[in-house]
Amino acid sequence: MASALGDIKILDLTDPLGHYAGYLLANLGAEVTKVEPPGGDPSRRWEPLLPDTPEIEAGMQFLLMNVGKKGITLDIRAHEGKDTFLKLLEETDVLLQSWSREEASALGFDSTELRKQFPNLINASVTGWGLYGPYASLAYSDIVSLAMAGVMNLSGFAEGPPTQLPDNQGFHCASLNLAAGVVAAILERDSSGIAQDVEVSMHESLLMAEETAMQTADIRGIDRERTGGTSGVIGIKLPGMGLYSAEDGWVYAMAAGIAGAGFAGLLELMDLLGDSIADELRQEPYASVMAEFSNSAAVFRLLGDPEKLKEIEDVFAEADVLVTRFFQKYPKEQLYVEGQKLRLLIGPVNGPKELSESEQLNYRNWFRTVSDPGRGRELRYPGAPWQLEATPAILSRPAPLLGEHNEEMFTSVGLTESDLKALSENGVI
């Protein structure tokens, strides 16, 4: 089957920050080879581990981010390893790596040197802070970047401290941008014949997650607050907006504002379910206040009138008690299904099991089952974030076993069996 990047060869030397970029490019059909140190990538040993599997092959994070790739081991710091790596680069279109400028220079692979030796190579870097600036050589992690990019400042409840996001969202955000940059560089090389470097900073990648927070501070002098289970940019709880407890879990509702059916649609849902709370909310003072101030933009206009704002907030709070009582009576799936009939924006807060069984995802064949003989099982993976009509996403192979493709890759660039034996004995592969 044809694939979008079927003629592209990529060496992936990124740390876990960039693994998802290689995964995405492999889904597009590129031949991506994960290059690990002889002892293996650290994420091979990260919990959770696949049961009944040797630890070095069991890290589920490694499996998830490296499915579809080939895998080799190579110590590029050793003299023999460096020579072998240079031979591999002769056959490579794209190099993915996470080196600082100092690290690249120490390895002998700084950008200028690579450009001289390999003028057609796209050298793509993803690091915590980028390659330049006062932070460029500092250590980084997902959680540090989430904090310093301001994302954590907006996460959590207004009355509590900032909270972290689950897993490695900063890594994935940076990897998405790296993959996009690589595709753009490939297109430019195909058009002009000129290869170029690509540089991605996780810190900068995360700044977009703040959306208008910086502009709101710059232009209006207002610092965005954490809103927790509510919605909006000023921390004021609009009835029908935010997180609500349902009979069997949680739902997130956007039943106010200008999207969907709004607060009127929420009252219609109550009517549809035969709930008398709708009658209470159609009484004053709720009816007139919700008609005039049921979106954040209207509330913004009251920021200069604290007395009126306090009056409106009190009505909101009373109305939200009734809305909360309504949601608590019904299962989250019923609220979602019946709400959709009215174009009402209510989403059940799903867990992993519910996502795995999702009618929508399974109808679209989003999950991919990959045979993994080396680990003695079939594994089901999440799919790609896009669908291409003529060149659909593919996962052609399981995540590599440690050094699985050493012989194939190294002999393809002229190494002999005796060369491989010597490299192995010297701990280079």
Put the strands of the sheet holding 9-13 in their side by side order: 70-73, 31-36, 9-13, 94-97, 122-127, 198-201
Q: Are strands 241-246 and 94-97 parallel, antiparallel or unpaired?
A: unpaired
Strand partners of residue 10: 32, 94
Please count the other Cβ atoms lying within 10 Å of the Cβ belonging to residue 83: 12
Of 240, 384, 215, 239, nearest in space to 313 by CA: 239
Using CA atoms, how far apart are residues 82 and 18, in angstroms rounded to an integer?
A: 21
Residues 6, 26 contacting (CB under 8 angstroms): no
Which residues in 306-325 are b (16+ Cβ under 10 Å) and which e?
eeebeebbebbeebbeebee
**Of residues 372, 384, 381, the one with CA closest to residue 29:** 384
- The residues that are catalytic are 167
Give the C-alpha separation, 185 to 30, whole Å: 14
Backbone angles phi, psi at 24, to 5 degrees: -65, -40
